Amino acid sequence: MKNIVLFGGGTHVRYCIDIILKENKYNIIGITDPYLDLGSKVLGYQVIGRQEDLKILVKKYNIEAGIITIGDNWTRKLVKDIIITQIPSFEFVSAIHPSVILGSNVTIGTGTVIMAGCIISPNSVIGDFCFLASGAILEHDSLMEEFSSLSAGSTTGGKVTIRKYTAITLGVVIFDRIEIGEHSVVGSGSLVTKNIPAYVVAYGAPAKVIRARFVGEKYLK
């Protein structure tokens, strides 16, 4: 099994550790985090350093690959940039829970995390560094671009497009053939019946644009 490091020691890492252990494909060496005390532990795994220390850590612990275990889409992107600035060829791997149902001709990018109970229907494409939470359903011929997310219990119809960095939060339902622009957030419990533009916060049933949103604006508590 490859030795991997987990980048990020917050709440999200706990889900990721569970998936990795159930997959039984990788050996977790430890965690990097900018805030947790070095030597502290999360679910028994030690914080071994900071993202900026990656070159040293790779040599010290014989690290071969890693997963960015951070829920916020834009923060995942920033951490990825820090990593490849140090080691351009660094290998990222994905974590997919064994209970996930994958249809035929599904494409999943690198660095993506898919939690328990998700259904990815035929001909769907999930880009690099995406996140799908428990029970999310991505229907046939849909597209999630890089660094986008589909949260727990959310469901898309067929031929839906979710652009890069966009977050679909808890329990959202998206009608068929809808496009949601990049860097947008769709609020919990929304019913999306029309296209949503880029750089906005939208919610409601039916979902409506509430306000503009800037790059990197936080949406997770």
Condensed to tens digits (0 to 9), the pLDDT of residues 135-167 reads: 999 999 999 999 999 999 999 999 999 999 999
The neighbouring-strand residues paired with 211 are 201
127 within 8 A of 110, measured Cβ to Cβ:
no
Structure-token pair, residue 212:
């503009």
Per domain, the residue ranges of the chain are 2-86, 95-204
Mean pLDDT of 120-145: 98
pLDDT digits 0-9 by tens, 80-111: 999 999 999 999 999 999 999 999 999 999 99
With cut-offs at 50, 70 and 90, classify the pLDDT of residue 42: very high
> Does the pLDDT of residue 47 top 80, yes or no?
yes
Report the greatest alpha carbon distance in the chain. Answer: 53
116 within 8 A of 100, measured Cβ to Cβ:
yes
Distance CA 168, CA 21 (A): 27
17 within 8 A of 45, measured Cβ to Cβ:
yes
Mean pLDDT of 34-58: 96
3-class DSSP state of 117: coil
pLDDT at 64: 98
Mean pLDDT of 179-192: 98
pLDDT at 154: 98
> Does the pLDDT of residue 221 top 90, yes or no?
no
Across the chain, mean pLDDT equals 97
Strand order, beta sheet including 131-132: 95-96, 113-114, 131-132, 149-150, 167-168, 185-186, 200-204, 207-212
Percent of the chain scoring above 70 in pLDDT = 100
CATH superfamily membership of 95-204: Hexapeptide repeat proteins (2.160.10.10)
Quote the crossing angle between the two packed helices 73-86 and 54-61, to the nearest 10°: 70
pLDDT at 195: 98
Question: Does residue 122 have a cis bond before it (omega within 30 degrees)?
Answer: no
CATH 3.40.50.20 fits 2-86, yes or no: yes
pLDDT at 220: 85
